[in-house]
Homo-oligomer: A and B are copies of this chain.
Amino acid sequence: MENKKLGRQSFQPASPPIIIGYGSAAGQKESSGPLGRHFDHTCKDDTFGAKSWEQAESSMQQLALDAALKRAQLHTVDLDLMLAGDLLNQCIGSGYAARASGVPFFGLYGACSTMGESLALATLLLSGGYGTYAAAVTSSHFCSAERQYRTPLEYGCQRTPTAQWTATASGAVVLTSQSAKGPAVTRVTVGKVVDKGIKDANNMGAAMAPAAYDTLKAHFEDTGLSPDFYDLIVTGDLGKLGSEIVSDFFSTDGVPLSNYNDCGCLLFDTNQQDVHAGASGCGCSASVLCGHLLPGLLAGRWKRILFCPTGALHSPTSTMQGESVPGICHAIALEGGR
């Protein structure tokens, strides 16, 4: 059997890479949420021992990767490739985290879809015959994101009801091309840049929802599978509003999703925690994957998950120049593991 392309956007490895390690780090608010006890590393003051919020992101990535390598019973030097990205200007969270590793490195920018992008590329590279072990890593930090995308926290700006709370969290996954026990990445749908003209930079859910819908539809068309093939379809960080839009789109199509949730709604208790429309940030889907979804696959809670991180490819500059907010979403099919 050969690696193949399915339809317009999807790829199917002949020998699906196996996830043999995963690790997570999360901040105070995240570890107080419903999934809090599942994270490998938490930190009460969100500094993770670093002097700046930006450096704290690099620390989180290193902690998450260390935990993933430990589960995989590997050392950093065993990795053939590292694929990582984050939200910071020039992706410094990832660049500085990778500096000490000595691992061949591909830096990515997919905004909050980065866990999907890094998993997609790791899957395609390993199954393409290139290397034995690859790591996919990402992070976000509430304090670095707020001052970069919006205003410094000290301003105390009010948040709109549609705003989401950037997760202070990181997730790392180690995959192998060898036969092993663990969840397999069986299919990958690579997203297109989709822009429906949303210009409200405080409503990322609405901006990204059309990209999620586009990629999910492409996945089902390309693979011939129906949504109920998966026990769980989970988008990245659309939050309450964005995930309702995706549900509405599929209902309008006559294919209501009964098995759908969103990482932005899972990470926080939106009724109890002051996070408005839910969680966002690269670290949101990454930490939910590593703290909740992968352990659930290993425990047999689910057998098949379609994991679909979403990203908004804008910047404060593009918003100030009057541009709308384009979105992207990559879909990663995870199967088995028990």
Contacts and interface: CB of A to CB of B under 8 A. Distances in A.
Contacts of A65: none
A148 B117 CA distance: 26
A191 interface: yes
Nearest to A5: B131
Given A80-B5, A96-B326, A190-B105, A90 B313 contact: yes
Contact of A129 (B2, B9, B89, B195): B2
A145 to B, nearest CB: 11
A54 B318 contact: yes
**Number of copies of chain A assembled together:** 2
A167 interface: no
A319 to B, nearest CB: 10
A125 to B, nearest CB: 6
Interface stretch (A38-46, A106-114, A202-210, A268-276): A106-114
Contacts of A314: 90, 92, 95
Contacts of A101: 192-193
A4 interface: yes
B89 A3 contact: no
Contacts of A158: none
Contact of A321 (B54, B107, B127, B129): B54
B3 A90 contact: no
A105 B192 contact: yes
Contacts of A80: 5
Nearest to A320: B52
Contacts of A316: 89
A121 B81 CA distance: 12
A8 interface: yes
Given A91-B313, A95-B193, 11 more contacts: A5-B131, A8-B104, A9-B104, A55-B321, A90-B314, A90-B318, A102-B192, A105-B190, A105-B191, A107-B110, A128-B128
